[in-house]
Amino acid sequence: MLQSDSPRRITRRTALQLGAAAGAAATAAPYLGRLGNVFGADGAAHALMPNPNWPAPSIITRAQWGANEAIRKGGQIYDSPVSHIIVHHTGTPNSVTDYVGLIRGIYSNEVAGEYIDIAYNWLIDPVGRIYEGRWAQDYAAGQVHTGEHNGANVHGGHAIYHNTDTIGIALMGNYDLIPPAAAMINSLVNLITWKCARWGIDPNARVLYHASNGPTENLQTICGHRDTSATACPGAYVENMLPAIRGQAAARLSSGGGYWIAGATGQVLAFGGVPAPGGVTTAIAGIGGTPSGNGYWLAAPDGAVFAKGGAQYHGGMNGHRLNQPIVGIQPTHSGNGYWLVAKDGGIFSFGDAKFFGSTGSKRLNAPMLGVCPTGTGRGYWLYARDGGIFSFGDARFHGSTGGMRLNQPIVSMAPRPQGDGYWLVAADGGVFCFGNARFRGSGANTRNAAPCIGMLPSTTGNGYVILRQDGMVQSFGDAPNLGDARGLLAYGAVGIAGHLKPL
């Protein structure tokens, strides 16, 4: 039976069970209200046009965290539109590291009382993993778990008198005591940005909200639980970070930047403000994004090219005899053509891509890994596994690691958009800088990390991200981390492409 708001407070989570694996019970946390039968925002105008195609972040579904659907009660109701996002913390001990056990414990405790389901729409752990909270529907295989059904958001029970037309996001832990981890906040921004895009919410706006107990409140669209009622939630540290969180979400919505991560078997995942036109079901050697950010090309080892979204097909090498397999693809500055590069440095030009030279007839010390065009489109660099750099057209040579002793082989190259320098990254995350490319950090000291396989610079040339084989993304300088593909790729990542606009 669906509960209604009432003046009587309840204390939830006072006997929170963490699950057998956690081995302990959590302490009591600030109360959260019951399900509300509240009024909406009375048609308050959204400041942004909804974008339901904004890519979803990586989500751990209810099935993946082990929700026992047999204990969930019926009576779900749904809201449309959504006007506000309310941030919480669970108030549980920060020593807890079994986050799946914790979320199961919260769920069991709440349905054992008068809640129909877990109260939150979403939860995030300190590592940055996002968990599906309240059940919205049974999803088909491969369908994104949006927390919605038939275009309406499932009504939560996270904030007394403020449950209708709101989304509740809970950060696992007590953030009155410690600041939240950077990975947690980055995932919070990713989740908020996704939901703001879907519902057309301006993260920096204030919108009137009519609470079920009577008052009309002028609330920030992204607010803390304590902004709606007398509670310490979401903790002083998180509450003080909300202005910056709003700003980051707004910047991501307005920048239009984003990137794609391609998997070895043709799967492509989109992050940030780029579309997600889908992948293929064949082995992939590389990915190249359109300059406008509306699509991409995938290249197979046999030279086949697949155009997705706004990318146009200009030809491929499949059906032709190749001395060595294709290892990469990169578009021209106009987006009306592209180059394919083979393992021996052979270059194949399509559309308005011009041939400026190759190493196809040269004896190489190490195999080629890719091609990087200059910003003018009148030249390119080829780079090899030993860090050897070969310059053609107007591409200037700024140095290489070809004569250096490397701990791990080079795996990727990223030129500055200005054309005055470039970075190389090794499999262990070590970064090598040449020309005006400045060192912004490396992943060399990341413990137990998968090998690096790709690199993408920011549009300013003052930062970059590194992609690891398991889909992990690490950002440095002014390059934003818009999410990663850990746990989502069946056979590992092979490349990253897109536009990294600083926030």
Question: Based on the domain organization, do 391 and 379 belong to the same domain?
Answer: yes
Q: Count of domains in the chain?
A: 2
Structural domain contains residue 323: yes
Structural domain contains residue 393: yes
Residue-wise pLDDT for 131-186, tens only, equals 999 999 999 988 889 999 999 999 999 999 999 999 999 999 999 999 999 889 98
Question: Based on the domain organization, do 108 and 219 belong to the same domain?
Answer: yes
Nearest-angstrom CA–CA distance, 192 and 215: 26
Is residue 348 within 8 A of residue 380, CB to CB? The reply is: no
Cβ burial of 115 (10 Å; 0-12, 13-18, 19+) is: buried
Question: Based on the domain organization, do 222 and 290 belong to the same domain?
Answer: no
> What tokens appear for 458 in the block?
């920011």
Question: Based on the domain organization, do 327 and 210 belong to the same domain?
Answer: no
pLDDT tens-digit profile, the chain (503 residues)? 222 333 323 333 332 323 322 222 222 222 222 222 223 333 344 457 788 878 788 899 999 999 999 999 999 999 999 999 999 999 999 999 999 999 999 999 999 998 999 999 999 999 999 999 999 999 998 888 999 999 999 999 999 999 999 999 999 999 999 999 988 998 999 999 999 999 999 999 999 999 999 999 999 999 999 999 999 999 999 999 999 999 989 888 876 688 999 999 999 998 888 888 889 999 999 999 998 888 999 999 999 999 999 999 999 999 999 999 999 999 998 899 999 999 999 999 999 999 999 998 888 899 999 999 998 889 999 999 999 999 999 999 999 998 889 999 999 999 999 889 999 999 999 999 999 999 999 999 888 899 999 999 999 999 999 999 999 999 999 998 888 888 888 889 999 999 888 86
Structural domain contains residue 6: no
Residue-wise pLDDT for 204-263, tens only, equals 999 999 999 999 999 999 999 999 999 999 999 999 999 999 998 988 887 668 899 999
Find where tokens 């993260």 sit: 203
Which CATH number belongs to the domain containing residue 139 in this structure?
Answer: 3.40.80.10
Question: Based on the domain organization, do 222 and 355 belong to the same domain?
Answer: no
- The domain of 485 spans 256-499
Find where tokens 């491929």 sit: 316
Which CATH number belongs to the domain containing residue 373 in this structure?
Answer: 2.130.10.10
What is the layout of strands, in order, in the sheet containing 421-426? 410-415, 421-426, 431-435
Question: Based on the domain organization, do 438 and 363 belong to the same domain?
Answer: yes
The domain boundary residue, chosen from 254, 289, 304: 254
Rg of the chain over all Cα atoms, to the nearest angstrom: 25
The Cα angle at residue 251 between residues 249 and 255, in degrees rounded to 5: 125
Nearest-angstrom CA–CA distance, 56 and 220: 23
Question: Based on the domain organization, do 407 and 459 belong to the same domain?
Answer: yes
Question: Based on the domain organization, do 481 and 363 belong to the same domain?
Answer: yes
The domain boundary residue, chosen from 220, 254, 288: 254
Question: Based on the domain organization, do 321 and 456 belong to the same domain?
Answer: yes
Nearest-angstrom CA–CA distance, 313 and 335: 11
Give the H/E segment covering residue 338.
Answer: strand 337-342
Q: What is the 3-state secondary structure (H, E, C) of 36-75?
A: CCCCCCCCCCCCCCCCCCCCCCCEECHHHHCCCCCCCCCC
Question: Based on the domain organization, do 96 and 207 belong to the same domain?
Answer: yes
Q: What is the pLDDT of residue 379?
A: 95
Structural domain contains residue 45: no
Question: Based on the domain organization, do 235 and 347 belong to the same domain?
Answer: no
Structural domain contains residue 27: no
Question: Based on the domain organization, do 84 and 209 belong to the same domain?
Answer: yes
pTM over 0.85: no
Give the H/E segment covering residue 349.
Answer: strand 347-351
Give the H/E segment covering residue 298.
Answer: strand 295-299
The domain boundary residue, chosen from 254, 271, 295: 254
Q: What separation in angstroms does the CA of 175 have from each of 6, 88, 492?
A: 28, 10, 35
Q: What separation in angstroms does the CA of 382 have from each of 344, 357, 358, 391, 456?
A: 10, 10, 8, 7, 16
